[in-house]
Chains A and B, each alone.
Chain A
Amino acid sequence: MVKRINFADIIIHFVIFLMMLICIIPILNTIAISLSNKTSAMLGEVYFIPIGFNLSGYQEILDDSRFFNAFGVSVLRVILGAGLSTVVSVLMAYPMSKSKLRFRKRKLYLWLLVFTMLFNGGLVPNFLLVKNLGLLDTIWALVLPCSVSVFNTLVIMNFFRGIPDSLEESAMIDGATPLRILWQIYIPLAKASIATILLFSAVYHWNSFFDGKIYINSADKIPLQTYIQSLSFNISVTAMQNLDPETLQKKLEMSNLTFSAAKAIVSMIPIVMIYPFLQRYFIVGMTMGAVKE
């Protein structure tokens, strides 16, 4: 068969390519700015190729001990937060995946879970609670309040439901306790979906900035995103209104574009590192049970 070049195909490829470019442009631009010299960055001469290539933005990060400290706090928070959240979710998902006959109080628990998923006290009461519990300014204020993800629990629960009962029954006849059944049968079978929720909650913890802002006061306990946010907030944008270009230029030169771009890039590194796994597991998770072989 002769392959004809179809006009519609060209248009489709072009549109997709354009969208892909739009997705990557802000990231490429930020990388280029982070590697450029300061003046070119200020003057807006940098597009996608660094101008006056230098690493001074990254050099400044190396000299910034607070950046490293905040990076460490974030890593600790991801380990504690994502770990706790996954353990709690998996533990709850197992009994919840049983039928009403097998787990008699299931309905009661389900109500509790769904209610807390749909309704919450809101910002002020949550803040007062954390304050009254004496958790302010500790890492636990970042880990505990969001430690139970009902959504993740339900995702794992739905996966557990697809595992044949006969596997569990034979183990039960051999005298295995529910904890052992979960550990030796369910968890190995659900590895992919557990990995998915683990990675997603790690990303969530890495990216959160707001709880660090309201719950943490000491400089040495601030997580990375909060730290970056506190420095870059409103990079003199507010001051730009109604200024002539020259004054504007001066204002802009006082801010440090290359440094903040470099910070953005460095804080992206962990995400980019786990990105292949995120993508693989996400697609596996999405197509599970849907793909016909």
Chain B
Amino acid sequence: MQNKLQQRYYHLMMMPGVVLLIIFNIIPMFGLILAFQKFVPAKGVFGSSFVGLYNFKLLFMYSAAKQAILNTLIIASAKIVLGVIVPVSFAVLLNEVKSVFFKRTVQTIIYLPNFLSWVILAIMFNNIFSYNGIANKFIALFNAEPQLFMVSNRYFRQILIGTDVWKTFGYGAIIYLAAITTIDPNMYEAAAIDGAGRWRRIFHIVLPSIAPIVVLMTLLSLGNILNAGFDQVYNMYSTLVYETGDIIDTYVYRMGLEKLQYSFGTAVGLFKSVVSFILLASAYKLAQHFTDYSFF
């Protein structure tokens, strides 16, 4: 009797979240039917005719779509790789610092960009990389010609990758630093007695100790291979750099909501969701296998 009441309470507590999830997450999944239709808003989902995989074929026929997929892969994989290397190296270096004040100040500052929106950061970087901006003043010190960085296909990808690493590395570094501080000090002492220097200590104690969390974070970020960062790209790109900077999400937005090709936009989105889903699901499985990590 007591137990039945308890179950009822539990269901009741799940209710608000589940109702919201069903309305705003599950129901839109039925909208994916659009991807297989030639959707005409006036006719509705039920009146529109089915076209099979036609929309997906278009995806691999339009060169702009192919370019967007390629750009996404390049930008996202560079972000994933650097998004591991930079924070890990920084955390290892920061751990070598003795002064608590210096350490704390650095942490406070490097973590801040993570909380600023891309709308604001785009304003900042537009200034910095503009014709008269600091970046050009800096390269002028080396006698280089001023560049229009934000509209140059040669530099745009690097700028996207660099500014993303700039924004997020502090967050990662703090996570890794927290992992480093849990290392048993006895290990350092034992190593010191055996005559290990700084580099030995880093490569044989620090890095192996944080390896599990590094592997975990990397595996989980694999699910982002098709997420090159909509907010960032949308706020920083322009028609001149579509060639190198247009990504799947921005392409879906322009096709689906600006040009009102609902069906094609949905198909591209579905393609992305399916690939991400497979990658994420396998990443979770791998994470479970290698690091005994179970989030659920």
Contacts and interface: CB of A to CB of B under 8 A. Distances in A.
B252 A122 contact: yes
Contact of A124 (B24, B31, B102, B170): B31
B50 interface: no
Contacts, number: 281
Interface string B254-291: 00110000100110011011001100110000000000
Interface stretch (A51-59, A60-68, A206-214): A206-214
Contacts of A16: 90, 93-94, 97, 102, 106
B32 A121 contact: yes
A78 B121 CA distance: 20
Contacts of B136: 44
A15 B13 contact: no
Interface stretch (B2-10, B60-68, B73-81, B188-196): B2-10
Contact of B239 (A19, A133, A158, A238): A238
Contact of A103 (B7, B132, B280): B7
B28 A125 contact: yes
Contacts of B273: 119-122
Contact of A229 (B112, B131, B235, B240): B235
A9 interface: yes
B10 A123 contact: no
Interface residues on A, range: 35 or more
Contacts of A260: 123
Contacts of A153: 17
Interface in A148-170: 148, 150, 153-154, 158
Interface residues on B, range: 35 or more
Interface string A257-276: 10011011001100110010
Interface string B36-63: 0000000000000000000000000000
A241 B147 CA distance: 10
B36 to A, nearest CB: 13
A185 interface: no
Interface in B217-276: 223, 230-231, 234-235, 238-240, 249, 252-253, 256-257, 262, 265-266, 269-270, 272-273, 276
B182 A279 contact: no
B170 A23 contact: yes
Contacts of B106: 16, 20
Given A95-B14, A105-B11, A210 B166 contact: no
A147 interface: yes
B133 interface: yes
Given A23-B170, A123-B257, A12 B93 contact: yes
Given A203-B115, A264-B120, A92 B14 contact: yes
12 contacts: A19-B90, A119-B273, A124-B257, A128-B28, A207-B115, A240-B151, A252-B132, A261-B123, A263-B123, A279-B111, A282-B111, A291-B182
